[in-house]
Amino acid sequence: MAFGQGLLSQHRPLHHTRTRRRLSGAVAVLVVFLALSTESALLGGSWWALATAWAGLMLVMAGIFGRLLATLFIGGHKGAELVRAGPYGVTRNPLYLSSLLATIGLGLASANPLLLLLLLLAFLLYYPGVLTREEEKLARRHGAAYQDYRRAVPRFWPRPGADWREPDWVTASPRQFRMALADAGWFIIAYIALRAIAEAHARGVLPAYTLPF
């Protein structure tokens, strides 16, 4: 089963724009509450704090880089033509794959397994329907060309040895790239905030309920 198809059949209403925004707001509030009020039993070990900090940072930076690169290739063409160059020749959804990497990175940055699970669950509820709705639009707009693209390029997870093709020039959208930079800023702010909270828990500055894991 392709990424998200099973979830889509059960939760299509979750993928409407207004519902997604409400879900995002609710998840953000819940993440802040759990980050402040709970901590992992592993947080007392310096190796766990250090490992999650560095792993989270690397994944967040990889996600940010991936989103910026994908925006550079798609920003000036989104909806107008089928882009198959750069990251879009490796996966049909590099923006969302990069978002997943950054999401996992934030979960690790919190050093709290409960937050990591919550963020992954929110991603699985939020994005599969978005992917499917966009695929339906592309199929209607591009017809056979998009079907060929679907057969050649994986939907989400890159295929090892995939062909990377890069033109000499791309037409970018300043507005789309500026929005991608703003998203990058929010990821960085979230990482710093979650790490600060984790450090406050570890030093006993911010008391919290200790989870059994």
Convert the pLDDT of each residue in 46-55 to its tens digit. 787 888 899 9
Q: Where are the domains of the chain?
A: 5-210
Output 24 or 18, whichever has higher pLDDT: 24
Q: What is the pLDDT of residue 20?
A: 66
State pTM to two decimals.
0.86
Q: Per residue in 108-163, pLDDT tens? A: 999 999 999 999 999 988 888 888 888 999 999 999 999 999 999 999 999 877 77
With a CB cutoff of 8 Å and minimum separation 6, the contacts of 166 are: 85, 86
Considering the chain, what is the average pLDDT of its residues?
Answer: 86
Q: What is the pLDDT of residue 6?
A: 45
Output 20 or 96, whichever has higher pLDDT: 96
Q: Per residue in 35-88, pLDDT tens? A: 999 998 887 667 878 888 999 999 999 999 999 999 999 876 666 789 999 999
pLDDT tops 50 at residue 10: no
CB 63 within 8 A of CB 102: yes
Helices (H), the chain: 5-11, 17-37, 46-74, 94-109, 113-142, 144-152, 174-202
pLDDT tops 80 at residue 15: no
d(CA 191, CA 144): 42
